Amino acid sequence: MSIELKILNNSGLKKILVVGVFHGDEPQGEYFINEYLNLQKENLKNSLYFIPRLNQNNARTNKNGVDLNRNFPTKNWVKSNKDDYFGGNYPASEEETKFLVNLIEENKFDAIITIHAPYKIINYDGPAQGLADEISNILGYPVESDIGYLTPGSFGTYCGIERNIPTITIEIDENKAPQELLGRFIMLFNFLANKY
Ligand SMILES: [Zn+2]
């Protein structure tokens, strides 16, 4: 398995990580990221680190049946039932999880963004309320600080709550064609590259 990491402007002021397709049945992020990477860009202020597609499987879980967003080595990780939310046999059991854990240990990210579907909200963990408000203005989804259910072993808990990195979980509208949402995502990536 190879996870692609694409870095724009390695010497930028801030380092921002954007992760697409945590869940394989929410594929839109890969499209937004690849379309943005194809555009001409000049004088970026910040460094953007893109993972277009974390989960190569075409289902919510990875090829081992693990929900990657429940597999992070957090204090609240629990061994759960083998359903669509299975957190793995132990924390960070999965290659995808280890890849992100290593990346976050090796880089001091100023913000981390992940792209999910379908709740039409901007959720955040850690000191990210201001950034969540900015992203809400760009994408037109309301900010929700609490997604309404427990997410043990989540990426947001790992990065935002336990490491104090501003972490945003974008939940897009899956009923809209990705082409309809692309313009907003290009605005978002331009904001992250130049204004944040
Ligand atoms: Zn998701």
For 54-86, write each residue's pLDDT tens digit: 999 999 999 999 999 999 999 999 999 999 999
Average pLDDT over residues 12-31: 97
- Residue 40 Cα to ligand 1 midpoint, Å, equals 29
Distance of CA 33 to the CA centre of its chain: 11
Distance of CA 115 to the CA centre of its chain: 5
Q: How far apart, in whole angstroms, are the C-alpha atoms of residue 160 and residue 153?
A: 12
Domain extents for the chain? 6-194
Instruction: Give me 1's structure tokens.
Output: 């398995």
What pLDDT, on a 0 to 100 scale, did the predictor assign at position 105?
97
**What is the share, in percent, of the chain residues with pLDDT greater than 90?**
94
- Residue 194 Cα to ligand 1 midpoint, Å, equals 27
**Cα separation values, 181 from 35, 58, 104, 188, Å:** 12, 21, 28, 11
- Residue 9 Cα to ligand 1 midpoint, Å, equals 28
What pLDDT, on a 0 to 100 scale, did the predictor assign at position 42?
87
pTM over 0.85: yes
- Residue 70 Cα to ligand 1 midpoint, Å, equals 11
Is residue 119 packed enough to be buried (19+ CB in 10 Å), middle (13-18) or exposed (0-12)?
middle
Superfamily name with CATH number, domain 6-194 = Zn peptidases (3.40.630.10)
Cis omega (within 30 of 0) for bond into 178: no
- Residue 13 Cα to ligand 1 midpoint, Å, equals 29
Indicate whether 45 pLDDT > 90: yes
- Residue 8 Cα to ligand 1 midpoint, Å, equals 25
For 121-162, write each residue's pLDDT tens digit: 999 999 999 999 999 999 999 999 877 777 899 999 999 999
- Residue 131 Cα to ligand 1 midpoint, Å, equals 20
- Residue 43 Cα to ligand 1 midpoint, Å, equals 32
- Residue 59 Cα to ligand 1 midpoint, Å, equals 10
Mean pLDDT of the chain: 96
- Residue 113 Cα to ligand 1 midpoint, Å, equals 12
Average pLDDT over residues 100-128: 97
What pLDDT, on a 0 to 100 scale, did the predictor assign at position 145?
81
Nearest to 39 by CA among 189, 177, 194: 189
What pLDDT, on a 0 to 100 scale, did the predictor assign at position 1?
63
- Residue 11 Cα to ligand 1 midpoint, Å, equals 31
Please work out, in degrees rounded to the nearest 5, the angle formed at the alpha carbon of residue 11 by the alpha carbons of 6 and 13. 110
Q: Concatenated DSSP letters for the chain?
A: -----EEE-TT-SSEEEEEE-SSTT-THHHHHHHHHHTS-----SSEEEEES-S--SSSSS-TTS--GGG-S--TT-----SSTT---SSTT-SHHHHHHHHHHHHS--SEEEEEE-SS-EEEEESS-HHHHHHHHHHH---EES--SS--TT-HHIIIIITT---EEEEE--TTS-HHHHHHHHHHHHHHHHHT-
What pLDDT, on a 0 to 100 scale, did the predictor assign at position 149?
78
- Residue 106 Cα to ligand 1 midpoint, Å, equals 25
Q: Is the CB of residue 1 less than 8 Å from the CB of residue 99? A: no
